[in-house]
Amino acid sequence: MKRNIVIIGGGIAGMEAARALLDLGHTPILVEASKMLGGHVAFWHRLFPDMSSAKNLVGRLETEIAGSRILLNTKVLSLNRLADGYSLKLSNGSVVNASVLLISTGFSLFDARKKEEYGYGIYDRVITNSDLEAWFSGKRDARVPDNPESVGFVHCVGSRDLKACNAQCSKVCCATAIKQAIELKECFPYAKVYCFYMDLRFFGKKYEDFYINAQRDYGIRFIRGRVSEVGETIDGRLQLKAEDTLSGKPLKVQLDLLVLMSGIVKNDSIRELADMAGIETDSDGFLRSIDNEYAVIESNRPGIFYAGACTGPKTVPETVAEARSAALAIHSYLEKL
Amino acid sequence: MTERFDTAFHPFVIPFLAGMAFVLAVCLIKAAIVVRELDKADRRKWILSLIHPNIIIKNGIDIILDCLIHVRLWKRNRLLGFMHSSIAFGWFMIILLGHLQVLIYCPERLSTFYYPIFFDYFIEGGQYTWISRMLDAFLLLVLAGISLAVIKRIWSRLFGMRRTTRPTFYNLIGLYSLWAIFPLRFLAEQCARAGDLSVAPWWAYSISLCTFMVVLPFGRYLHIPAEMLLITFRNAGLEIKKPHKGMARVQADSCPNCGVCIDACPMNADPANLKDSTVYLTRQLRRGNAERVREISDKCMLCGKCTQVCQVGVDGPKLRILARAARKYRINPDFSNAGTGGGVRAVNKVLYFSGCMTALTPRIGLSVESVLKKAGIDYEWMDRDGGLCCGRPLHTAGRLKEAAGLVRRNEELIVGSGAAVLLVSCPICYREFKERYRLPGIRIVHYTDYFCELMEKGLLNFEKSDVCYVFHDPCELGRGCGIYDTPRRLISKAASIAEAPKNREESICCGGSLGSLSLDFRRREKITQASLENLYGSKADAIVTACPLCLSTFARYSDRPVKDLAQIVDEQTKPI
Amino acid sequence: MTDFGFTLSRSSTLDLQRVDEERFEQLCKLEKGASVCIGCGSCSATCPAGALSGMSLRKILLAVQRGQEVRTMLQCCMLCGKCTMVCPRGINTRNLILSICSIYD
């Protein structure tokens, strides 16, 4: 059998893995369900903490993987296990046999309509983090007012929340909120921007600087209290209720725009893929690695590897690092066959 | 027809007589205790009812229909109904005809009490009369019932029951002695008729009767006399007032342990809750096991399904609320000084009360408001910016006095507003308003009823969509307040409607109920999933309900859209 | 010790070693959720009784944890269950409240 490598999912994890595999002398097949590569990052405006352009990153990767076989608009319909690999039936009608599968299906963003009390889809001035990124990238959005006086960011929407069926931290939203708050402040320098948080988690390199920057240079206000509900006043402004836990008082504030930091949840189709491939999902719904310390990119089945957010929320640098290490692991796996 | 013995006596009748005396004495004492436990007003009411001709007739009819023929069980489960009524009615007829037989053919022996029971031993040639043939027919009927009972013990699924109660050792003795009575009677009679006058089968027959009667007051079979007392209590209009006494005790004692409530209970989607159905509550109440009573009472979601299916009318939720009420807390809330702002003015208008939960499901309140606007109704929204709770959660938690305090505060506010109609969107609030509020001159109405009226008056201009909805009957709206039709009328006007396999009175609780005190979030998921599975069975595109709790609970796990009825009415109506 | 004729104000420092945790431990037995609160304040923010009386379940639970007095803080709870609905940790807050009510005398 030809030593095919099939990468399922053409986000930055799949792209970076393809790039690294090309470097190592392989020709991976990259299967992507949507019409374009880049996944969520392709729709993002800038990346934290350096504020570099997300489009540039995706664009650069795209040129670098031109040598691999890229199948867009293609889904995996079925997956059979063979004695020495896997056979995939694709939605374009072809059947591909592969010695190695790399799963890089990424994540889904939490559907903010499920937190009805925050009014997404109900009130006119409530948007999500991904709506805001699209607006930053130039897409028109009637919900963003021309000159907002005050803007609120709600952290942890659909993450760390059992009621949203996702108890885990989404890892990237705290930094994303700050990044978006800064970008928004750059658009509307006179707007008051509030971030409502339960805990702030700035663990990465330069993140704390980023936080200080937001406080000191952009005057973004951080309020420790989880928003409980959002209403609308008669004049169409949003009225938000939280507890200011640090002063111990109930708090309300009127806003012109509310941004919900939708969390990272498992990819909707991951369960189906896992069942077909005979790999396991974890209690959080993401794919289960052999362990969560040393072998995060390895599955319980030989020849199936993971990269990126299919195993849990990841930042861009973590995803890229995982993709490279998966490429290396695949290379040595094939060498040993 | 001749008497075989001049003495008209044999020692084998002694066990029967002793058992009979024992059971009568114990039951009378038990009844006296229960009547003593009633408060004065109730006792008076009950005694007066016993001499009221209409109620006497009703008592008679109810006892025949419920205790002997088991009409309600027939409606639920025909095989089970046949089993129970063939035993109860057959046995009753055997007793009745037996006495008639003695009255006709040897009236001087009627005073022995045991002649009707052992007739064929004492009388020769009695089997050729019409009455004897009828007796044989009824004995056959009972035997058929008993054989069904035996089959049910081994294979309950045949009766459509997935789960039945596990009888206790004591109840097993009762069960086996009951099973033994009739075949032994048959055997003894056949022997005697054939001329074999050996007393062994008669002894066995008498002893099994005695065993059953001695066990009766202490096990599930107490339900036989207790149900009769319950029927007279119910027809006298008595309600449960004390947690373990009076009416509550009779209800607990009336439970026949048939186990119909086990399969009905929505909590049993999770096997961990199998022992918390009402049948186990009544069992523990009888045993006086306070700890288990507390556990069972606290866990229940008070959906009312067990009462719905119960053939004797045990009010499971009420028993539990009162068990909760018996608990004393050392911190007690007080609302007499609760600041409620200036109060709302809505003179002669519709006053809309959305309730606490609706603040977390804003689309309900906004849709109701939008529909009212379209229909040109003059309204005020009482608790748009928050308000007092209706009191039902406190009430179901057993904090009755505190709930009453809250009700009084709300009454002042609502009456003070001058409103003509109190419009409610939350079924939990609605039930409390209906059952516990005194709002003279103010009509209390749920929006499903109200919107239906608006529709019939032509104030709502519907545009039918081609989406197919299934309506989930919220417990408090359906079983709680009897509203089943108006929601369906509205939906069929706005879209097409499908029905779930279990709907209306049989609807399965969503699992989000405030009724439960101890079920925590994680232990509710299976219940919600089971309820959703039932709704998926309708093959509808989307689920619609009319309760903020059902809405948010379903929205969490449902694989298809979940909407509130107000939202659909709003979406499918155009301003006139 | 010499009496100087004036009293020193008691230290406002919370000495964790001296905190009486008995009631909190008792509470955790009655309602396991008591131990997983992250103090996000959702319950207090959504509480209708909070709007009336300033009640804050978050503060009450913290006070129990710190061995402080809570008796007067629960006067207006209507058990309406909104706090249960919003709690991100899925704490059965109504059982928590009833349990607190039952352990203080």
Q: Among candidates B265, B233, B244, B432, which has minimal Cα distance to B325?
A: B244
Q: What is the distance in angstroms between the Cα of A128 and the nearest Cα belonging to chain C?
A: 19
| Residue of B330, B332, B357 with shortest CB distance to C85 | B357
Which token pair is A13? 């994890």
Q: Among candidates B514, B279, B481, which has minimal Cα distance to B394?
A: B514
Task: Give residue A2's pLDDT.
Answer: 60
Q: What is the distance in angstroms between the Cα of B392 and the nearest Cα belonging to chain C?
A: 8
As a whole number of angstroms, the distance between CA B388 and CA C52 comes to: 9
Cβ-based contacts of B363 with chain A (< 8 Å): 116, 122
| Average pLDDT score, chain A | 94
Closest CA in chain C for residue A169: C88
| Residue of A161, A199, A242 with shortest CB distance to C45 | A242
Residue of B300, B357, B392, B520 for testing the chain C interface, max C β-carbons within 10 Å: B520
CA count, 13 A, side-chain hemisphere, B466:
0
Q: DSSP labels for B115-139?
A: TTTSHHHHEESGGGSHHHHHHHHHH
CB contact under 8 A, A165 and B385: no
Strands A238-244, A249-255: parallel, antiparallel or unpaired by DSSP?
A: antiparallel
As a whole number of angstroms, the distance between CA A85 and CA A87 comes to: 7
Share of chain C above pLDDT 90, in %: 57
Q: What is the DSSP letter of A288?
A: P
C51 touches A at CB < 8 Å: yes
Share of chain A above pLDDT 90, in %: 96
**pLDDT average, residue stretch A16-45:** 96
**pLDDT average, residue stretch B442-451:** 96
Cβ-based contacts of C101 with chain B (< 8 Å): 329-332
As a whole number of angstroms, the distance between CA B494 and CA A270 comes to: 37
Neighbours of B31 (CB within 10 A): 16
Could you read off the pLDDT of A244-297 as tens digits, one per residue? 999 999 999 999 999 999 999 999 889 999 999 999 999 999 999 999 999 999
CB contact under 8 A, B556 and A122: no
Judge whether residue B18 has pLDDT over 80.
Answer: yes
Whether the Cβ atoms of residue B289 and residue B297 lie closer than 8 Å to each other: no
Closest CA in chain A for residue B557: A165
Q: What is the distance in angstroms between the Cα of A287 and the nearest Cα belonging to chain B?
A: 20
CB contact under 8 A, A250 and C86: no
Q: DSSP labels for B534-556?
A: HHHTTT-SEEEES-HHHHHHHHH
Residues of B with CB under 8 A from a CB of A: 359-363, 366, 384-385, 521-522, 552, 555-557
Whether the Cβ atoms of residue B146 and residue B87 lie closer than 8 Å to each other: yes
Whether the Cβ atoms of residue B240 and residue B250 lie closer than 8 Å to each other: no
Whether the Cβ atoms of residue B524 and residue B480 lie closer than 8 Å to each other: no
C84 touches A at CB < 8 Å: no
CB contact under 8 A, A245 and C41: yes
CB contact under 8 A, B391 and C78: yes
| Residue of C52, C71, C82 with shortest CB distance to B356 | C82
Cβ-based contacts of A164 with chain C (< 8 Å): 88
- Can you tell me the ipTM of this complex? 0.90
Whether the Cβ atoms of residue B171 and residue B258 lie closer than 8 Å to each other: no
Rounded to 5°, angle at Cα C85 from C79 and C88? 125
Question: Which residue type does A221 have?
Answer: R
Cβ-based contacts of C55 with chain A (< 8 Å): none
Task: Give residue B242's pLDDT.
Answer: 83
CA count, 13 A, side-chain hemisphere, B394:
22
Could you read off the pLDDT of B373-406 as tens digits, one per residue? 999 999 999 988 888 899 999 999 999 999 999 9
If you count DSSP H runs as helices and E runs as strands, how many of each does chain C have, helices first? 6, 0
Q: What is the DSSP letter of C19?
A: -
Task: Give residue A1's pLDDT.
Answer: 45
Neighbours of B459 (CB within 10 A): 17
Of B243 and A179, the one with more pLDDT? A179
As a whole number of angstroms, the distance between CA B8 and CA B45 comes to: 46
| Residue of C51, C77, C87 with shortest CB distance to B333 | C77
As a whole number of angstroms, the distance between CA B158 and CA A319 comes to: 57
Task: Give residue A337's pLDDT.
Answer: 84
C87 touches A at CB < 8 Å: yes
Rounded to a whole number, what is the distance in angstroms from the first to the last CA of chain C? 36
Judge whether residue B230 has pLDDT over 70.
Answer: yes
Q: Among candidates B21, B22, B43, which has minimal Cα distance to B32?
A: B43
Whether the Cβ atoms of residue A271 and residue C84 lie closer than 8 Å to each other: no
Residue of C37, C38, C44, C80 for testing the chain A interface, max A β-carbons within 10 Å: C44
CB contact under 8 A, C94 and B520: no
Ramachandran class of B573: left when φ > 0, alpha when ψ lies in -120 to 50, beta otherwise: beta
Give the SS3 label for residue B445.
Answer: strand
Which token pair is A251? 């708090």
Whether the Cβ atoms of residue B563 and residue B544 lie closer than 8 Å to each other: yes
Distances (CA, A) of A168 to A227, A322, B216: 18, 20, 57
Burial degree of A234 (CB within 10 A; 0-12, 13-18, 19+): exposed
Neighbours of C54 (CB within 10 A): 15
As a whole number of angstroms, the distance between CA C48 and CA A135 comes to: 37
pLDDT confidence band for B483 (50 / 70 / 90): very high
pLDDT confidence band for A209 (50 / 70 / 90): very high
Give the SS3 label for residue A7.
Answer: strand
Distances (CA, A) of B469 to B447, B539, B566: 18, 9, 13
| Residue of C52, C78, C86 with shortest CB distance to B394 | C78
Question: Which residue type does B384 have?
Answer: R
A179 touches B at CB < 8 Å: no
Task: Give residue B124's pLDDT.
Answer: 84
Residue of B373, B380, B385, B522 for testing the chain A interface, max A β-carbons within 10 Å: B385
| Average pLDDT score, chain B | 91
Q: Among candidates B446, B447, B441, B392, which has minimal Cα distance to B417?
A: B441
As a whole number of angstroms, the distance between CA A324 and CA A308 comes to: 10
Give the SS3 label for residue B193.
Answer: helix
Question: Which residue type does A220 have?
Answer: I
Measure the CA dihedral A235/A238/A242/A244, to 10°. Answer: -80
C62 touches A at CB < 8 Å: no
Q: Which chains touch C (3 or more CB pairs under 8 A)?
A: A, B
Strands A238-244, A229-232: parallel, antiparallel or unpaired by DSSP?
A: antiparallel
Q: Among candidates A133, A144, A143, which has minimal Cα distance to A54?
A: A133
pLDDT confidence band for B418 (50 / 70 / 90): very high
CB contact under 8 A, B360 and C85: yes
Whether the Cβ atoms of residue B387 and residue B371 lie closer than 8 Å to each other: no
Judge whether residue C9 has pLDDT over 70.
Answer: no
**pLDDT average, residue stretch B156-160:** 77
Which token pair is B273? 């809750």
pLDDT confidence band for C28 (50 / 70 / 90): very high
As a whole number of angstroms, the distance between CA A119 and CA A165 comes to: 18
> How many beta-carbon contacts under 8 Å exist across A and B?
32
Closest CA in chain B for residue C95: B517
Of B146 and B169, the one with more pLDDT? B146
Which token pair is A46? 């800038």
| Residue of A117, A198, A242 with shortest CB distance to C38 | A198
Rounded to 5°, angle at Cα B309 from B558 and B276? 70
Rounded to 5°, angle at Cα B516 from B510 and B517? 145
Cβ-based contacts of C44 with chain A (< 8 Å): 243, 245, 250
Give the SS3 label for residue B3.
Answer: strand
Whether the Cβ atoms of residue B547 and residue B474 lie closer than 8 Å to each other: yes
CB contact under 8 A, A164 and B385: no
| Residue of A117, A244, A250 with shortest CB distance to C51 | A250
Residues paired with residue A90 on neighbouring β-strands, in sequence order: A76
Distances (CA, A) of B398 to B319, B323, C39: 10, 8, 28
For residue B346, which phi and psi values (nearest 5 degrees)? -150, 50
Q: What is the distance in angstroms between the Cα of A165 and the nearest Cα belonging to chain B?
A: 7
Whether the Cβ atoms of residue B329 and residue B546 lie closer than 8 Å to each other: no
A167 touches B at CB < 8 Å: no
Residues paired with residue B378 on neighbouring β-strands, in sequence order: none
pLDDT confidence band for C8 (50 / 70 / 90): low
Judge whether residue B160 has pLDDT over 90.
Answer: no
Cβ-based contacts of C53 with chain B (< 8 Å): 338-339
- Find all residues with CB under 8 Å of A196, minimum gap 6, and list them: A152, A153, A154, A155, A223, A225, A226, A227, A240, A242
Task: Give residue B8's pLDDT.
Answer: 83
Give the SS3 label for residue A315.
Answer: coil
Q: Which chains touch A (3 or more CB pairs under 8 A)?
A: B, C
Could you read off the pLDDT of A59-76 as tens digits, one per residue? 999 999 998 999 999 999
Whether the Cβ atoms of residue B427 and residue B446 lie closer than 8 Å to each other: yes
Share of chain B above pLDDT 90, in %: 67
Q: Is the peptide bond before B167 cis (omega within 30 degrees of 0)?
A: no
Neighbours of B118 (CB within 10 A): 22
Task: Give residue C73's pLDDT.
Answer: 84
Whether the Cβ atoms of residue A86 and residue A303 lie closer than 8 Å to each other: yes
| Residue of A156, A164, A250 with shortest CB distance to C45 | A250
Q: Percent helix, strand and coil across chain A, each rounded to 5? A: 30, 30, 40
Residue of A222, A226, A246, A261 for testing the chain C interface, max C β-carbons within 10 Å: A226
Q: Among candidates B453, B445, B481, which has minimal Cα distance to B569?
A: B453
| Residue of A114, A116, A165 with shortest CB distance to B362 | A116
Cβ-based contacts of A117 with chain B (< 8 Å): 359-362
**pLDDT average, residue stretch B211-231:** 90
Task: Give residue C5's pLDDT.
Answer: 60
As a whole number of angstroms, the distance between CA C55 and CA B395 comes to: 20
Consecutive H or E run containing B76: helix B71-76
Q: What is the DSSP letter of A119?
A: T
Cβ-based contacts of C61 with chain A (< 8 Å): none
Judge whether residue B514 has pLDDT over 90.
Answer: yes
Task: Give residue B127's pLDDT.
Answer: 79
Cβ-based contacts of B360 with chain A (< 8 Å): 116-117, 229
| Residue of A119, A163, A230 with shortest CB distance to B556 | A163
For the ranges A32-41, A306-315, B307-316, B434-443, the lowest mean pLDDT is seen at B307-316
Give the SS3 label for residue B374.
Answer: helix
Could you read off the pLDDT of B266-310 as tens digits, one per residue? 999 999 998 999 999 998 998 889 999 999 999 999 999 999 998
As a whole number of angstroms, the distance between CA A255 and CA A193 comes to: 9
CB contact under 8 A, C54 and A250: yes
